[in-house]
Structure 1
Amino acid sequence: MVESLKSLKRNGWMSVAALSAVTVTLLLVGILLSILMNVNKVASDIENDVQVRVLINRGTTKEQETKLKQKLSSLDSVSKIKFSSKERELKNVIGSYGKEFKLFGGDDNPLNDVFVVSAKKPEQTVKIAKEAKKMKHVYDAKYGGASAKKLFNIVDNVQKWGIAISLLLLFVAVFLISNTIRITILSRKNEIAIMRLVGATNGFIRWPFILEGAWTGLIGAIIPIIIVDFGYVWLYGIISSSLASTGYSLLTPGVFLFQIDTLLIVIGIVIGAIGSGISMRRFLRI
């Protein structure tokens, strides 16, 4: 193990090149994983939202609103109905997007009164929305699942490209690590030849170099972990305050960052070991 660390130092700039490749690769992979996992989390929250927002036509009388509420209450899948006035809706908009929207107060308020209908089960929101749209005095009926479907389509595309880019970056990292180990092997060619003459097995010769590759991956994971951890905590504080009014949230830093950090360390060690294994396999065939 000590010899493998000394070997990294002896290789100088080639070791730096390999470490740089691992660092950049794991940084991009860490950022990509953080984004995808949080987008999936928010999309899942939206999809599992059991509320349907029934927008009431402007000009609807209180008596007509009462009848509409009774019709909505008569649906088997409805558990609770809450009224939200257009003034309350405007306050929510101002809380989410800024004080500039105060300009739309009073008679200039373009929003609708809303019945917030809670479903007994998430899968019943679609049915409630369809039924509500057919009722009189209903302008529109919106539910979280509609947004989730669009979001999942975006996530699918990002995942496909993200996986392709990640695989390409991992391949480049493995290639550079394998070249670094190959230089180490050539510099110790005579030593390895003597070891083979005295009966050393390929496995005995191979392990120090595999450890060297693993060290390269492990050390290369340190900077990405620091950047991803501090960056995520900073962004979490900013984005969470914006999402507070929506009822959705990002993954909390504690357990999530531990999982990301562990994954980056494992990926770094694996690609380092694979790069070394490729070089040793070619050399030991000679």
Structure 2
Amino acid sequence: MSFNTLRRHFRESGKNLGRNGWMTFASISAVTVTLLLVGVFFVIMMNLNHIAGNIEKDVEIRVHVDSAATEQDQQLIGTKLEQIKEVDSVTFSPKEQELNNLIKDMGENGQAFELFEQDNPLRDVYVVKTKSPQDVIKVAKEAEGYNYVQSVKYGQGYVEKMFDVVNVARNIGIVLILGLLFTAMFLISNTIKITIVARRKEIEIMRLVGATNTFIRWPFFLEGLWLGVLGAFVPIAIIGGVYYYLFDFVNPKINIKFVELLQPSPFIYQIAAILLLLGGLIGVWGSLMSVRKFLKI
């Protein structure tokens, strides 16, 4: 395709949007409303996934070393833990550090534990992080079998339930997003189809004068692209503005360590890119599917 022909298609697609003002407005409105719903759902699901990821990252295994273990025994335990393929990192925390952490975490009430500094009842601990949160249970069970390991703690009972809840939430989110996208494609393609049907005589005339199917498709291809992209601007503006406000208002009030919203930058730009891409793809798909029936010989 020559540059002049491509330029002609761009020019014609722009003119056609202006000639069919009300139909253009209806198509863009359908894209806007649908992408606004899709965008809001993406924002919710991506933040929930972020929070779930933070919760999973916070899961760790604490291997308590028996007080009867020698320094060599302790080092052997650490070496064995590091050799487990599912383990990402192993950090040794002496009992003195454990007591200091306990005093710090208890705040004002921690002063009572300062009495144990001379006779510390706590145990040396290996803090283990796994490459995947789902490997925590497997690694913990293996560590329990080591000599001179007094106990292994990883939130048994609660961790399994948490993983189940997170997996169910993610699966439901994926299904709902796919369903919403399918609905969006159906609504937008049908709205665009009305525009194409209203111009069926134009397509028939172009066929009669010898225009090829490719030549006829290009303006509609571009019109669908413009409709989708233009329809994405308003959702991007609304979602971006509301999210910045909610982030500044809600995030400072959240006092839970692993519960925090995604930073507006680059999150909003990612959402904008997703909506522009979806709008363009859905617009193009709707136009091509609608015009195809008029190009059949």
Deviation at 1:219, TM superposition (A): 0.6
Alignment of 1:126-137 (within 5 A): 126=137
1:274 to 285, 293, 297: 285
* Percent identical: 37
Asked if structure 1 preserves the Cα contact closer than 8 Å seen for 2:60 and 2:130, the reply is no
Per the alignment, residue 18 of structure 1 pairs with 27
Asked if structure 1 preserves the Cα contact closer than 8 Å seen for 2:60 and 2:129, the reply is no
After superposition, the C-alpha distances for 1:78-109 in whole angstroms (9 at most, x for unaligned) are: 62445478886566xxxxxxxxxx9x9xxxxx
Q: Which amino acid is the alignment partner of residue 60 of structure 2? A: Q
- List gaps (5 residues or longer) in structure 2: 1-9, 82-89, 110-121, 145-149
Q: Secondary structure of 1:251's partner?
A: coil
Asked if structure 2 preserves the Cα contact closer than 8 Å seen for 1:51 and 1:117, the reply is no
Per the alignment, residue 61 of structure 1 pairs with none
1:162 aligns with 2:177: yes
Structure 1 residues 239 and 159: alpha-carbon distance in aligned structure 2, compared to 1, 3 A threshold: farther
Superposition CA RMSD, Å:
4.3
1:31 aligns with 2:43: no
Q: Secondary structure of 2:294's partner?
A: helix
TM-score of the superposition, structure 1-length normalised?
0.69
Q: 1: distance between equivalents of 2:249 and 2:62?
A: 27
TM-score of the superposition, structure 2-length normalised?
0.67
1:196 to 204, 207, 219: 207
1:241 to 246, 252, 263: 252
1:142 aligns with 2:151: no
**How many residues end up aligned between the 2 structures?**
257
1:216 to 213, 227, 250: 227
After superposition, the C-alpha distances for 1:36-85 in whole angstroms (9 at most, x for unaligned) are: 2232232223223353589xxxxxxxxxxx969x9xx7964462445478
Per the alignment, residue 174 of structure 1 pairs with 189
Asked if structure 1 preserves the Cα contact closer than 8 Å seen for 2:136 and 2:154, the reply is no
Structure 1 residues 117 and 268: alpha-carbon distance in aligned structure 2, compared to 1, 3 A threshold: same
Asked if structure 2 preserves the Cα contact closer than 8 Å seen for 1:4 and 1:212, the reply is yes
Structure 1 residues 80 and 11: alpha-carbon distance in aligned structure 2, compared to 1, 3 A threshold: same
Structure 1 residues 206 and 125: alpha-carbon distance in aligned structure 2, compared to 1, 3 A threshold: closer
Structure 1 residues 127 and 270: alpha-carbon distance in aligned structure 2, compared to 1, 3 A threshold: closer
- List gaps (5 residues or longer) in structure 1: 55-65, 92-101, 105-112
Q: Which amino acid is the alignment partner of residue 194 of structure 2? A: N
